[in-house]
Amino acid sequence: MASGKSHLCTRDGFIVGGFRFGAHKKAIGELVFTTSMTGYPESLTDPSYKGQILVFTHPLVGNYGVPRKKLISGTNLPSNFESEHIQAEGVIVSEYTSGTKWDSESTFDSWLKRESIPGIYGIDTRALTIRLRDNGTSIGVISDNSKDAKDLDTYDYESINFVKMVSPKKPVYCKVSGRKQKGTIVVMDFGAKNGFINDLLSLGYDIIRAPWDSPAQEILDFGPSGIVYGNGPGNPNLLGEAISNIRELLDTGIPSMGICLGHQLAAIALGGKIKKMKFGHRAVNKGIVNRMDNKAYITTHNHGYALSKRNIPASAKVLFESIDDNVVEGLADRKHNLITTQFHPEARPGAWDTRFIFNMFYRMMQNGKRKA
Protein backbone atom coordinates (compact mmCIF):
# COMPACT_ATOMS: atom_id res chain seq x y z
CA MET A 1 0.00 0.00 0.00
CA ALA A 2 0.90 3.69 0.02
CA SER A 3 3.98 4.68 1.95
CA GLY A 4 3.53 8.44 2.49
CA LYS A 5 2.43 11.77 1.16
CA SER A 6 3.48 13.10 -2.23
CA HIS A 7 2.84 16.15 -4.40
CA LEU A 8 2.21 16.95 -8.03
CA CYS A 9 3.65 20.28 -9.17
CA THR A 10 3.31 21.72 -12.67
CA ARG A 11 5.28 24.34 -14.54
CA ASP A 12 2.27 26.67 -14.65
CA GLY A 13 2.14 26.81 -10.85
CA PHE A 14 -0.45 24.16 -10.00
CA ILE A 15 0.33 22.18 -6.83
CA VAL A 16 -1.80 19.41 -5.36
CA GLY A 17 -1.14 16.88 -2.62
CA GLY A 18 -1.75 13.13 -2.75
CA PHE A 19 -0.32 9.83 -1.58
CA ARG A 20 2.62 7.89 -2.91
CA PHE A 21 2.41 4.38 -4.36
CA GLY A 22 4.69 2.43 -6.64
CA ALA A 23 8.38 3.32 -6.47
CA HIS A 24 9.63 5.89 -3.97
CA LYS A 25 11.33 8.29 -6.36
CA LYS A 26 10.84 11.49 -8.35
CA ALA A 27 9.24 11.57 -11.81
CA ILE A 28 9.31 14.47 -14.23
CA GLY A 29 7.72 14.62 -17.66
CA GLU A 30 4.96 15.94 -19.87
CA LEU A 31 1.56 15.52 -18.19
CA VAL A 32 -0.91 13.79 -20.51
CA PHE A 33 -4.26 12.13 -19.89
CA THR A 34 -6.08 9.10 -21.22
CA THR A 35 -9.82 8.43 -21.02
CA SER A 36 -9.32 4.66 -21.39
CA MET A 37 -11.20 2.62 -18.78
CA THR A 38 -9.10 -0.54 -19.24
CA GLY A 39 -5.79 -1.54 -20.81
CA TYR A 40 -3.39 0.05 -18.33
CA PRO A 41 -0.72 -2.69 -18.84
CA GLU A 42 -0.71 -2.01 -22.59
CA SER A 43 -0.85 1.78 -22.22
CA LEU A 44 1.96 2.07 -19.68
CA THR A 45 4.28 -0.20 -21.70
CA ASP A 46 3.62 1.68 -24.96
CA PRO A 47 6.97 3.28 -25.98
CA SER A 48 5.06 6.33 -27.23
CA TYR A 49 4.61 7.35 -23.57
CA LYS A 50 8.37 7.72 -23.01
CA GLY A 51 9.00 11.08 -21.33
CA GLN A 52 5.42 11.47 -20.15
CA ILE A 53 3.48 11.15 -16.89
CA LEU A 54 0.17 9.44 -17.60
CA VAL A 55 -3.04 10.65 -15.95
CA PHE A 56 -5.93 8.16 -15.91
CA THR A 57 -9.38 9.79 -15.87
CA HIS A 58 -11.08 6.52 -14.91
CA PRO A 59 -11.49 6.64 -11.10
CA LEU A 60 -10.25 3.09 -10.33
CA VAL A 61 -7.06 1.70 -11.86
CA GLY A 62 -5.58 -1.71 -11.08
CA ASN A 63 -8.83 -3.66 -10.77
CA TYR A 64 -7.57 -6.74 -12.62
CA GLY A 65 -3.94 -6.66 -11.54
CA VAL A 66 -1.06 -7.23 -13.95
CA PRO A 67 -1.00 -10.36 -16.14
CA ARG A 68 1.79 -12.87 -16.54
CA LYS A 69 3.78 -12.35 -19.73
CA LYS A 70 2.79 -14.44 -22.71
CA LEU A 71 5.00 -14.54 -25.78
CA ILE A 72 4.03 -13.93 -29.39
CA SER A 73 4.44 -17.25 -31.21
CA GLY A 74 7.95 -17.65 -32.63
CA THR A 75 9.33 -14.56 -30.84
CA ASN A 76 10.49 -13.45 -27.40
CA LEU A 77 8.09 -10.48 -27.48
CA PRO A 78 5.33 -10.30 -24.84
CA SER A 79 1.90 -10.52 -26.45
CA ASN A 80 0.07 -8.79 -23.59
CA PHE A 81 2.50 -5.87 -23.07
CA GLU A 82 3.60 -3.40 -25.73
CA SER A 83 7.28 -3.54 -24.73
CA GLU A 84 9.45 -5.24 -22.11
CA HIS A 85 9.02 -2.51 -19.50
CA ILE A 86 6.83 0.39 -18.40
CA GLN A 87 7.75 3.37 -20.58
CA ALA A 88 5.79 6.17 -18.89
CA GLU A 89 7.81 8.18 -16.37
CA GLY A 90 5.06 8.20 -13.75
CA VAL A 91 1.38 7.47 -13.06
CA ILE A 92 -1.41 9.62 -11.64
CA VAL A 93 -4.71 8.04 -10.55
CA SER A 94 -7.66 8.99 -8.41
CA GLU A 95 -7.57 5.63 -6.64
CA TYR A 96 -5.60 2.46 -7.26
CA THR A 97 -6.76 -0.98 -6.26
CA SER A 98 -5.05 -4.27 -5.47
CA GLY A 99 -7.38 -6.30 -7.64
CA THR A 100 -6.29 -9.49 -9.40
CA LYS A 101 -7.79 -12.03 -11.78
CA TRP A 102 -7.04 -15.61 -12.79
CA ASP A 103 -4.04 -14.73 -14.97
CA SER A 104 -2.58 -11.97 -12.76
CA GLU A 105 1.06 -12.07 -11.74
CA SER A 106 1.03 -9.09 -9.39
CA THR A 107 -0.94 -6.07 -8.22
CA PHE A 108 -0.70 -2.69 -9.91
CA ASP A 109 1.28 -1.21 -6.99
CA SER A 110 3.83 -4.05 -6.85
CA TRP A 111 4.29 -3.88 -10.64
CA LEU A 112 5.17 -0.17 -10.43
CA LYS A 113 7.58 -0.89 -7.58
CA ARG A 114 9.27 -3.67 -9.56
CA GLU A 115 9.59 -1.42 -12.61
CA SER A 116 10.85 1.54 -10.49
CA ILE A 117 7.98 3.81 -11.59
CA PRO A 118 6.46 6.28 -9.10
CA GLY A 119 2.75 6.92 -8.79
CA ILE A 120 0.51 9.31 -6.90
CA TYR A 121 -3.13 8.76 -5.93
CA GLY A 122 -5.77 10.73 -4.06
CA ILE A 123 -5.77 13.25 -6.92
CA ASP A 124 -8.97 14.51 -8.56
CA THR A 125 -7.82 13.32 -11.98
CA ARG A 126 -10.91 14.56 -13.78
CA ALA A 127 -10.36 18.08 -12.46
CA LEU A 128 -6.69 17.78 -13.47
CA THR A 129 -7.77 16.65 -16.94
CA ILE A 130 -10.10 19.64 -17.30
CA ARG A 131 -7.14 21.86 -16.38
CA LEU A 132 -4.97 20.22 -19.05
CA ARG A 133 -7.75 20.57 -21.62
CA ASP A 134 -8.31 24.25 -20.79
CA ASN A 135 -4.67 25.33 -20.36
CA GLY A 136 -2.89 22.79 -22.53
CA THR A 137 -0.33 20.12 -21.74
CA SER A 138 2.13 21.03 -18.99
CA ILE A 139 5.36 19.69 -17.56
CA GLY A 140 4.90 18.13 -14.13
CA VAL A 141 6.88 16.52 -11.35
CA ILE A 142 5.76 13.90 -8.81
CA SER A 143 7.79 14.07 -5.60
CA ASP A 144 7.60 14.13 -1.82
CA ASN A 145 10.29 16.85 -1.78
CA SER A 146 9.04 20.36 -2.58
CA LYS A 147 12.55 21.35 -3.71
CA ASP A 148 12.20 19.10 -6.78
CA ALA A 149 9.78 21.63 -8.30
CA LYS A 150 12.82 23.65 -9.39
CA ASP A 151 13.56 20.96 -12.00
CA LEU A 152 10.51 22.13 -13.93
CA ASP A 153 12.41 25.26 -15.00
CA THR A 154 15.04 23.37 -16.97
CA TYR A 155 13.17 20.34 -18.34
CA ASP A 156 12.53 20.76 -22.10
CA TYR A 157 10.37 17.91 -23.41
CA GLU A 158 10.19 19.39 -26.92
CA SER A 159 13.94 19.19 -27.52
CA ILE A 160 14.58 15.61 -26.29
CA ASN A 161 14.93 12.77 -28.79
CA PHE A 162 13.00 10.05 -26.96
CA VAL A 163 12.98 7.81 -30.04
CA LYS A 164 16.65 6.87 -29.64
CA MET A 165 15.83 5.70 -26.09
CA VAL A 166 13.24 3.13 -27.24
CA SER A 167 14.43 2.12 -30.72
CA PRO A 168 16.56 -1.04 -31.08
CA LYS A 169 20.31 -0.49 -31.42
CA LYS A 170 20.60 -3.14 -34.13
CA PRO A 171 18.14 -5.00 -36.38
CA VAL A 172 15.76 -7.39 -34.63
CA TYR A 173 14.46 -10.37 -36.61
CA CYS A 174 10.97 -11.80 -36.05
CA LYS A 175 10.14 -14.94 -38.02
CA VAL A 176 6.73 -16.20 -39.13
CA SER A 177 5.89 -19.27 -37.07
CA GLY A 178 4.49 -22.49 -38.50
CA ARG A 179 4.26 -21.58 -42.18
CA LYS A 180 6.29 -20.43 -45.13
CA GLN A 181 6.96 -16.71 -45.15
CA LYS A 182 5.65 -14.61 -48.06
CA GLY A 183 8.43 -12.06 -47.92
CA THR A 184 9.92 -9.51 -45.55
CA ILE A 185 8.49 -6.36 -44.01
CA VAL A 186 11.03 -3.88 -42.64
CA VAL A 187 9.78 -1.73 -39.76
CA MET A 188 11.64 1.50 -39.14
CA ASP A 189 11.30 1.12 -35.38
CA PHE A 190 10.77 4.42 -33.60
CA GLY A 191 9.23 2.56 -30.64
CA ALA A 192 6.91 0.07 -32.33
CA LYS A 193 4.35 -1.71 -30.14
CA ASN A 194 4.46 -5.49 -29.79
CA GLY A 195 0.81 -5.77 -30.80
CA PHE A 196 1.60 -4.00 -34.04
CA ILE A 197 4.47 -6.40 -34.78
CA ASN A 198 2.15 -9.33 -34.03
CA ASP A 199 -0.44 -8.12 -36.56
CA LEU A 200 2.24 -7.68 -39.22
CA LEU A 201 3.47 -11.24 -38.57
CA SER A 202 -0.10 -12.47 -39.03
CA LEU A 203 0.08 -11.31 -42.66
CA GLY A 204 2.62 -14.09 -43.27
CA TYR A 205 5.76 -11.96 -43.64
CA ASP A 206 8.98 -12.07 -41.64
CA ILE A 207 9.58 -8.81 -39.80
CA ILE A 208 12.86 -6.92 -39.41
CA ARG A 209 12.79 -4.12 -36.84
CA ALA A 210 15.43 -1.62 -37.97
CA PRO A 211 16.95 1.13 -35.79
CA TRP A 212 15.27 4.51 -36.17
CA ASP A 213 18.26 6.11 -37.92
CA SER A 214 18.98 3.28 -40.39
CA PRO A 215 20.09 4.70 -43.77
CA ALA A 216 17.70 4.11 -46.64
CA GLN A 217 20.13 1.80 -48.42
CA GLU A 218 20.38 -0.45 -45.36
CA ILE A 219 16.58 -0.79 -45.39
CA LEU A 220 16.62 -1.60 -49.11
CA ASP A 221 19.39 -4.17 -48.65
CA PHE A 222 16.92 -6.30 -46.65
CA GLY A 223 14.86 -6.71 -49.85
CA PRO A 224 11.57 -5.58 -48.31
CA SER A 225 8.18 -6.47 -49.75
CA GLY A 226 6.89 -3.56 -47.70
CA ILE A 227 8.22 -0.86 -45.41
CA VAL A 228 6.50 0.36 -42.25
CA TYR A 229 7.22 3.60 -40.41
CA GLY A 230 6.18 2.73 -36.88
CA ASN A 231 4.88 4.57 -33.84
CA GLY A 232 7.08 6.19 -31.22
CA PRO A 233 7.43 9.04 -28.72
CA GLY A 234 8.24 12.72 -28.83
CA ASN A 235 8.55 15.56 -31.31
CA PRO A 236 8.68 14.37 -34.96
CA ASN A 237 10.30 17.61 -36.10
CA LEU A 238 13.52 16.63 -34.28
CA LEU A 239 14.06 13.55 -36.46
CA GLY A 240 15.56 15.16 -39.55
CA GLU A 241 17.83 12.21 -40.31
CA ALA A 242 14.92 9.77 -40.29
CA ILE A 243 12.79 12.11 -42.40
CA SER A 244 15.49 12.26 -45.09
CA ASN A 245 15.74 8.47 -45.12
CA ILE A 246 11.96 8.10 -45.37
CA ARG A 247 11.86 10.56 -48.27
CA GLU A 248 14.40 8.44 -50.14
CA LEU A 249 12.47 5.24 -49.40
CA LEU A 250 9.14 6.71 -50.51
CA ASP A 251 10.69 7.60 -53.86
CA THR A 252 11.34 3.89 -54.52
CA GLY A 253 7.60 3.12 -54.78
CA ILE A 254 7.89 0.11 -52.44
CA PRO A 255 4.54 -0.37 -50.62
CA SER A 256 4.71 1.46 -47.31
CA MET A 257 2.58 2.26 -44.29
CA GLY A 258 3.02 4.90 -41.59
CA ILE A 259 1.49 4.53 -38.12
CA CYS A 260 1.17 7.37 -35.57
CA LEU A 261 4.67 8.94 -35.41
CA GLY A 262 5.40 7.18 -38.71
CA HIS A 263 2.36 8.90 -40.24
CA GLN A 264 3.74 12.25 -39.11
CA LEU A 265 7.26 11.57 -40.38
CA ALA A 266 6.00 10.40 -43.78
CA ALA A 267 3.89 13.53 -44.07
CA ILE A 268 6.89 15.76 -43.28
CA ALA A 269 9.03 13.81 -45.75
CA LEU A 270 6.51 14.60 -48.50
CA GLY A 271 6.30 18.31 -47.67
CA GLY A 272 3.62 18.43 -44.96
CA LYS A 273 3.85 20.21 -41.60
CA ILE A 274 3.27 18.70 -38.17
CA LYS A 275 2.38 20.92 -35.21
CA LYS A 276 2.04 20.43 -31.46
CA MET A 277 -1.53 19.93 -30.24
CA LYS A 278 -2.96 21.69 -27.20
CA PHE A 279 -3.49 18.43 -25.28
CA GLY A 280 -3.41 15.59 -27.82
CA HIS A 281 -5.48 12.47 -28.38
CA ARG A 282 -4.98 9.58 -25.94
CA ALA A 283 -7.79 7.08 -25.56
CA VAL A 284 -9.36 3.93 -26.98
CA ASN A 285 -12.66 5.56 -27.92
CA LYS A 286 -11.82 8.30 -30.42
CA GLY A 287 -14.14 8.66 -33.40
CA ILE A 288 -12.81 9.02 -36.94
CA VAL A 289 -14.46 9.10 -40.36
CA ASN A 290 -13.24 7.55 -43.61
CA ARG A 291 -13.41 10.35 -46.17
CA MET A 292 -13.60 7.89 -49.07
CA ASP A 293 -16.95 6.38 -48.02
CA ASN A 294 -17.96 8.48 -44.96
CA LYS A 295 -18.07 5.47 -42.62
CA ALA A 296 -17.18 6.15 -38.98
CA TYR A 297 -14.97 4.05 -36.70
CA ILE A 298 -13.87 3.98 -33.05
CA THR A 299 -10.08 3.94 -32.72
CA THR A 300 -7.10 3.94 -30.34
CA HIS A 301 -4.89 7.04 -30.12
CA ASN A 302 -1.72 8.20 -28.42
CA HIS A 303 -0.28 11.38 -29.95
CA GLY A 304 0.42 15.00 -29.06
CA TYR A 305 1.37 16.24 -32.54
CA ALA A 306 -0.87 16.30 -35.59
CA LEU A 307 -1.35 17.11 -39.26
CA SER A 308 -4.07 19.54 -40.31
CA LYS A 309 -5.84 19.54 -43.68
CA ARG A 310 -4.20 22.80 -44.71
CA ASN A 311 -0.74 21.26 -44.21
CA ILE A 312 -1.06 17.94 -46.05
CA PRO A 313 1.48 17.02 -48.76
CA ALA A 314 0.47 17.94 -52.31
CA SER A 315 0.62 14.32 -53.51
CA ALA A 316 -1.62 12.93 -50.72
CA LYS A 317 -5.34 12.76 -50.04
CA VAL A 318 -7.05 12.66 -46.65
CA LEU A 319 -8.07 9.08 -45.92
CA PHE A 320 -9.28 9.50 -42.33
CA GLU A 321 -10.27 12.54 -40.29
CA SER A 322 -11.06 13.08 -36.60
CA ILE A 323 -14.73 13.60 -35.80
CA ASP A 324 -13.79 15.76 -32.79
CA ASP A 325 -11.40 18.35 -34.22
CA ASN A 326 -10.79 17.60 -37.94
CA VAL A 327 -7.21 16.43 -37.36
CA VAL A 328 -5.99 14.37 -40.32
CA GLU A 329 -6.03 10.75 -39.11
CA GLY A 330 -4.70 9.09 -42.25
CA LEU A 331 -3.38 9.70 -45.75
CA ALA A 332 -3.42 7.85 -49.04
CA ASP A 333 -0.68 8.68 -51.53
CA ARG A 334 -0.93 6.61 -54.71
CA LYS A 335 2.11 8.28 -56.25
CA HIS A 336 4.35 7.01 -53.44
CA ASN A 337 2.42 3.77 -52.76
CA LEU A 338 1.76 4.89 -49.18
CA ILE A 339 -1.05 4.69 -46.64
CA THR A 340 -0.86 6.17 -43.14
CA THR A 341 -2.93 6.31 -39.97
CA GLN A 342 -2.50 8.63 -37.01
CA PHE A 343 -4.42 6.12 -34.87
CA HIS A 344 -3.35 2.57 -33.93
CA PRO A 345 -5.15 -0.02 -36.10
CA GLU A 346 -3.81 -2.92 -34.01
CA ALA A 347 -6.03 -1.62 -31.16
CA ARG A 348 -3.78 -2.45 -28.21
CA PRO A 349 -5.79 -1.63 -26.17
CA GLY A 350 -8.99 -0.62 -27.92
CA ALA A 351 -11.70 -1.36 -30.46
CA TRP A 352 -10.89 -3.52 -33.49
CA ASP A 353 -12.83 -1.35 -35.97
CA THR A 354 -9.86 -0.55 -38.20
CA ARG A 355 -7.94 -3.84 -38.36
CA PHE A 356 -8.78 -3.79 -42.08
CA ILE A 357 -5.83 -1.38 -42.50
CA PHE A 358 -3.52 -4.41 -42.37
CA ASN A 359 -5.47 -6.04 -45.19
CA MET A 360 -5.08 -2.86 -47.25
CA PHE A 361 -1.32 -2.99 -46.71
CA TYR A 362 -1.28 -6.71 -47.55
CA ARG A 363 -2.98 -6.03 -50.91
CA MET A 364 -0.48 -3.27 -51.62
CA MET A 365 2.41 -5.69 -51.05
CA GLN A 366 0.74 -8.31 -53.23
CA ASN A 367 0.47 -5.75 -56.03
CA GLY A 368 4.15 -4.91 -55.54
CA LYS A 369 6.33 -1.91 -56.24
CA ARG A 370 4.86 1.07 -58.04
CA LYS A 371 6.94 3.61 -59.95
CA ALA A 372 6.85 6.78 -57.86
3-class DSSP string for the chain: CCCCEEEEEECCCCEEEEEEEECCCCEEEEEEEECCCCCHHHHHCCHHHCCEEEEECCCEECCCCEECCCECCCCCCECCCCCCCCCCCEEECCEECCCCCCCEEECHHHHHHHHCCEEEECCCHHHHHHHHHHHCCEEEEEECCHHHHHHHHCCCHHHCCCHHHHCCCCCEEECCCCCCCCCEEEEECCCCCHHHHHHHHCCCCEEEEECCCCCHHHHHHCCCCEEEECCCCCCHHHCHHHHHHHHHHHCCCCCEEEECHHHHHHHHHCCCCEEEEEEEEEEEEEEEEECCCCCEEEEEEEEEEEECHHHCCCCCEEEEEECCCCCEEEEEECCCCEEEECCECCCCCCCCCCCHHHHHHHHHHHHCCCCC
The rounded distance, in Å, linking the Cα atoms of 153 and 165 is 23
Which are the catalytic amino acids? 260, 344, 346
